[in-house]
Chains A and B, each alone.
Chain A
Amino acid sequence: MIEELAKNLANLKKDFASAYDGNSQFQEVIPASSSELFPVHAEHLVLLHQFATDNPIYYNSYEKIIGSTSCIVYEGDINKYWLNSIQHGSSHAPFSPTWMMSAYVGSLIAQDLGYAQVVDIGSGDGRIAFCGRVVGMQSYSIEIDDMLTDLQDSLCSSLDFNPRCSDACAFDYSSLNLKHPVFFIGGLAQMGGISLASGVIEKISLISGLQKNSGFVFAGTLSKKYAADPKNHAGWGTLIEKSNLKILQTCSLPTAWTFHESDDTPYIFAQFEK
């Protein structure tokens, strides 16, 4: 069911991208209601729309039927957050959001794999942590940029996804009392993701008993504009091998940065080799 949902979302994005004639910096769609192609809990959809409606990165929304699916299109702009992040030089990679529906599908996969807690690393506006809460997992959101954690705080009214303003490579994860967490790593391997992931993996490995229960999700890229990793896996192969991780599943989902590309973002779910 989740794989079908992911496939339908990828098709929806293709249709939307070819029909979109607006000028926004980024744009995404969320189905207006549950349907055969998108059998999403009605309460979950309400929460996803609520997050987008309350989120100041979106400045416009409208209804549109894409293919046979009635959707709400959200148009957004994250330039001021980008400007802030480059000013402070604090971020490993500038904020660029995955789609809300992709964050939701990613959370469903994580839950289906048996994880109990989502830790959104380099979380931007915290949407993956938020979606983790939507599907019923515990969530934590770690973001180094204070302008973005202020934004996250303002989005916690419907569901608290525990935003923390901190450097994820220095954060004390033992303070969260994690039992079976999955860490979503923000940023492509080639855009600072490797150092972010390496830092987090190192911290996790120092916590007794946590390593064997932890999973990681990496956002890959198939774009030719980035140097390929010699071990492949959309830029993450070397780190996966070096960290003794085993891939559980890969799922391609739409993101803001692949909107104009034919390939979506491969999300790689991995865990430590037993």
Chain B
Amino acid sequence: MTTLDGVVQMFDDECQKLQNLIGIADSKSNLTIDQIVEIYYQVMNVSSMSVMLRGQSDSEPLLRKLRETEKLIVEKFDSITHPQIMDNLSDSIRADTKKLQSGNSGKKSKEEIESDAKLFEELRQKMSTREFVEQYEKNLHHD
């Protein structure tokens, strides 16, 4: 197997992984933060490989695969999956914020404060994930 063949095989594997992750994202409205981060990294990973492979060979099967992958990212991920993830994250942040605000009155025990602190930490993680996802959105509009 040539080096290029090896890279193409790797690209195939990574595309398959991306397709699976998009499938999971489409079937679930409450992805974990790890799942969200994983899918965006995979999109970036496959996009970078795609740019690298373009121009390396004029093999028709490879060019076809590159076109299919681009279609998957632009027409499926960017147009459907990514906006859905953004909406779900925003809804979840809004709901968590409301819940934490409503529980902010009155004196609490040490245990209650420390238990609430975990919910605050989860909210912070979601907000930071939304920033990460928004960064992807900004790059989309700059491309």
Interface set of A (CB-CB < 8 Å, partner B):
23-25, 59-60, 75, 77, 79-80, 82-83, 86-87
Inter-chain CA distance A77–B97, complex, in Å, is 17
Whether, in the assembled complex, B116 has its beta carbon less than 8 Å from a beta carbon of chain A, the answer is yes
**Ranked 5 nearest A-B pairs via Cβ:** A79-B120, A23-B114, A25-B117, A80-B104, A77-B113
Q: Is B101's CB within 8 Å of the partner chain A?
A: yes
- In angstroms, Cα B118 to Cα A24, docked, is 10
Q: Within 8 Å CB of B110, what residues of A?
A: 59-60, 75
> Interface size on B (CB < 8 Å)?
12
Q: Establish whether residues A83 and B114, one from each chain, have CB atoms under 8 Å apart when the complex forms.
A: no
- Looking across the interface, which residue of chain B has its beta carbon closest to that of A23? B114
Contact A79 B101 (CB under 8 A): no
Cα distance A87–B104 when bound, in Å?
Answer: 14
Q: How far is the CA of A79 from the CA of B97 in the complex (A)?
A: 11
Bound Cα distance from A151 to B66, whole angstroms: 59
- Within the complex, what minimum Cβ distance (angstroms) separates B67 from chain A? 37
A contact residues around B101 at 8 Å (CB) = 83, 87
Taken together as a complex, chains A and B put the C-alpha atoms of A157 and B116 apart, in Å, by 30
Contacts of A79 in B (CB 8 A): 100, 116-117, 120
Whether A83 contacts B117 in the complex (CB less than 8 A), given A59-B110, A60-B110, comes out as no
Q: Which residues of A contact B104 (CB under 8 A)?
A: 80, 83
In the bound complex, do residue A83 and residue B97 qualify as a contact, i.e. CB atoms below 8 Å apart?
yes
Q: How far is the CA of A26 from the CA of B117 in the complex (A)?
A: 10
A87 neighbours in B (Cβ, 8 Å): 97, 101
Do the beta carbons of A24 and B97 come within 8 Å of each other?
no
Bound form: Cα–Cα A80–B120 in Å: 9
Q: In angstroms, how far is the closest chain B Cβ from the Cβ of A230?
A: 22
Residues on B with beta carbons closer than 8 Å to the beta carbon of A77? 113-114, 116-117
> Which residue from chain A places its CB closest to the CB of B104 in the assembled complex?
A80
- For B24-59 the 0/1 string (1 means CB < 8 A from A) is 000000000000000000000000000000000000
Q: List, in ascending order, chain B residues with CB within 8 A of A60's CB.
A: 110
Q: Interface code B116-140, partner A: CB below 8 Å = 1, 0 otherwise?
A: 1100100000010000000000000
Give Cα A23–Cα B101 distance, bound, in whole angstroms: 21
Nearest-neighbor residue (CB-CB) of A25 within chain B = B117
What distance in Å separates the Cβ of A273 from its nearest Cβ neighbour in chain B?
38
